Chains A and B, each alone.
Chain A
Amino acid sequence: MNDINTQPSILTIENLSIAYDNDKLAVKNVSATIKKNAITAIMGPSGCGKTTLLRAMNRMHELYPNITTTGKIKLYDENIYDMSTIKLRRKIGMVFQRPNPFPTLSIYDNVIAGYKLNGIKLKRTERDEIVETSLKNVTLWDEVKNSLHKKGNFLSGGQQQRLCIARALAFKPDVILLDEPTSALDPIATAKIEDLLIDLKENYSIVLVTHNMSQAARISDNAMYMYMGELIEYDETTKIFTNPKETSTQNYITGRFG
């Protein structure tokens, strides 16, 4: 555990517990630090609380009144529960399991949707630049540069997902949360997104929920293993996969489980 502790961290989770309907605990007393400019994978069997933990990091749970959260999450030194959700969600972007571009907006407008929806006025040149760099970041620029002002519904699933990542990048967030971003995609589109994430970690910190172990092994630097709402083990990915400390982790990664 020494190595992982020396890396600079960006998010600090302290004694976080999340309950549905006041009694069903989905996340039990989790503490961990998410490292800067790294890909952190959260793995575990279905229902282990990995998505719940991820969604706590930009306070998405507050949409649903039956979910209660206790504990702290700090972005650098600031408790995110003291920040306004609007400011927080601009610093911590999110990409969802299924691609969800806005069907009523063009590709161009989808990329700057964060600015548009919030009524932030930009100069035309600024807008063009944000759209171009964001789309280039997700390697979608060459594929859509001639149809920027068309609606995005002719794009493939993988292209739509990259558009959604571009939309999250447009705000230049500190952290990007991805909730099983490739589970609805084919292997080729998955490989593209994985390459993209490795490129992106140079400038962003990435938290990735996945139930695909080989994906976690391929691209993540650090990995968490969760089971029944508890954080069983959190270490560098290579250690988790070669020399796990807990038998539960060992069982999971060797496939004797779940």
Chain B
Amino acid sequence: MNQTTILPGKKMTELIPDLFSGRKLKDKLFLIGIVIFSLLTISMVVLIIGSMILKGYHQINWAFFTQSPPDTFQAMMAKMSGKTIPGGIINGITGSLYLVGIASLIAIPFGVLIGIYLYENSKKRYAGFIRDITDVLQGVPSIVIGLIVYLWVVVEITHGYSVLAGSVALAIMMLPLIIRSTEESLKMIPDTLKEAAIALGTPYYKVVMRVLIPSSFSGLMTGILLAISRILGETAPLMLTTLGNPAINWNIAKPVSAVPLLIWQFYNDPNMVDLIWSSSLFLMGFVLLLNILSKWIAARQKK
């Protein structure tokens, strides 16, 4: 309570009681609103993760990570005798890692270099143009990117569905994210640090390579990991570019499977529906892990 007195014998609160209580009421109402809406958001996440775990955990075993999916007959037999479905999604796991790996190899050098260019020339008209194009690219529906890569790579280069085509599609989706996060994390570095290096007679490219990049390393890594976790779940462009493969494949010119592709295939096979949940659980867990890792890297750098 405010004890300040303005008029002798009267407290401040007595002088303006209406205004005072009205503010408190509004404050309370606003707080309640915030709590309700944030609980709604949290419960959404909890419900999604909870149902994944409840429906998927009993399928997760050693075979799940080491074997390819069963055929529909094996799955049907297992289901009828009440056993868990045999086999796993190893072809999808290796395929996803392969695709993401190649996509990163393509997208990271391009994205980081373009990000550096935008940071260095932020006021030039050409840089503004690139920035706008990047925003447009981010808005292109993933299925459209899949179609274009089908025309460019599947038809023209590998003459069939392939790892390369899938990786190119995913790399195009990663690019805008990496470009913008590189630019943003470079902007966070104080100019004084750049000047310190310049004043030591360091050529400009070495300032970029040895001061700017290491200083913004955590920002760069965070951007890259977030881009990866974003494309891990992409399904539509992969359907048009790499199709799927019932076995593990390391040939870059041949089709490969991926976890989201497997989920789609399991969905279309009534005998294998159970595998949807465990695959989704795996995919979500993996993405979550990458998110936590990127947060950890960002936090570690701040120390």
Please measure, in the bound complex, the distance between the C-alpha atom of A87 and the C-alpha atom of B207, giving whole angstroms.
Answer: 15
In-complex Cβ contact of A86 among B190, B194, B196, B203 (8 A): B203
- Which of B193, B201, B206, B214 has most chain A Cβ within 10 Å? B201
Distance of A242 Cα from B214 Cα, bound (Å): 51
B residues 189-242 with Cβ under 8 Å of A? 190, 192-203, 206-207, 210-211, 214-215, 217
A118 within 8 A of B: yes
User: CB < 8 Å: which of A100, A104, A114, A117 contacts B192?
Assistant: A100
Mask: chain B, 243-254; 1 = CB below 8 Å from A; 0 = not:
000000000000
The interface stretch among A90-98, A141-149, A193-201, A246-254 is A90-98
Q: Are B200 and A167 in contact (CB under 8 A)?
A: yes
Contact B196 A100 (CB under 8 A): yes
6 A–B pairs (Cβ distance < 8 Å), ordered by A: A93-B199, A98-B192, A102-B196, A117-B202, A117-B206, A118-B202
Asked if A108 is an interface residue, CB under 8 A from chain B, the answer is no
B residues near A63, Cβ cutoff 8 Å: 194-195, 198
B206 proximity list for chain A (CB < 8 A):
117-119
Complex alpha-carbon distance, A151 and B282, angstroms:
39
Query: Contacts A98-B192, A100-B195 known; A117 to B215 CB distance under 8 Å?
Result: no
B residues near A102, Cβ cutoff 8 Å:
193, 196-197, 211, 215
* Count of interface residues, chain A, beta-carbon cutoff 8 Å: 28
Contact with B along A113-137 (1 / 0, CB 8 A): 1101111000000000000000000
Q: Which of B190, B197, B217 has the most CB of A within 10 A?
A: B197
A30 to B198, CA, bound (A): 25
Interface of A is mostly: helix
Q: Are B193 and A100 in contact (CB under 8 A)?
A: yes
Option from A88, A100, A103, A116 in Cβ contact (under 8 Å) with B201: A88
Evaluate contact between A89 and B211: CB separation under 8 angstroms.
no
CA distance A90 to B207 in the complex (A): 15
6 extra A-B contacts, CB within 8 A, seeds A96-B192, A117-B207: A88-B201, A89-B201, A98-B192, A113-B197, A114-B201, A117-B202
Docked complex Cα distance between A167 and B199 (Å): 10
Q: Which residues 161-205 of B have a CB within 8 angstroms of A?
A: 190, 192-203
- Do A114 and B214 have beta carbons less than 8 Å apart? no
Question: Knowing A85-B201, A86-B201, A87-B201 touch, does A117 contact B210 (C-beta < 8 A)?
Answer: yes
A222 proximal to B (CB < 8 A): no
Interchain CB contact under 8 A, A96 and B196: yes
How many angstroms between the C-alpha atoms of A167 and B196 in the bound complex?
10
A48 vs chain B, min Cβ distance (A): 21
CA distance A86 to B200 in the complex (A): 8
Give complex CA distance A8, B114 in Å. 50
Q: Lowest 7 A-B CB distances belong to which pairs?
A: A89-B201, A94-B199, A114-B200, A90-B201, A100-B192, A117-B202, A100-B196
Q: Are A60 and B199 in contact (CB under 8 A)?
A: yes
The verdict on A164 contacting chain B, using a C-beta distance below 8 Å, is yes
Q: Of the candidates A88, A103, A117, which one forms a contact with B197 in the assembled complex, judged by CB atoms under 8 Å apart? A: A117
Give min CB distance, B196 to chain A, whole Å. Answer: 5
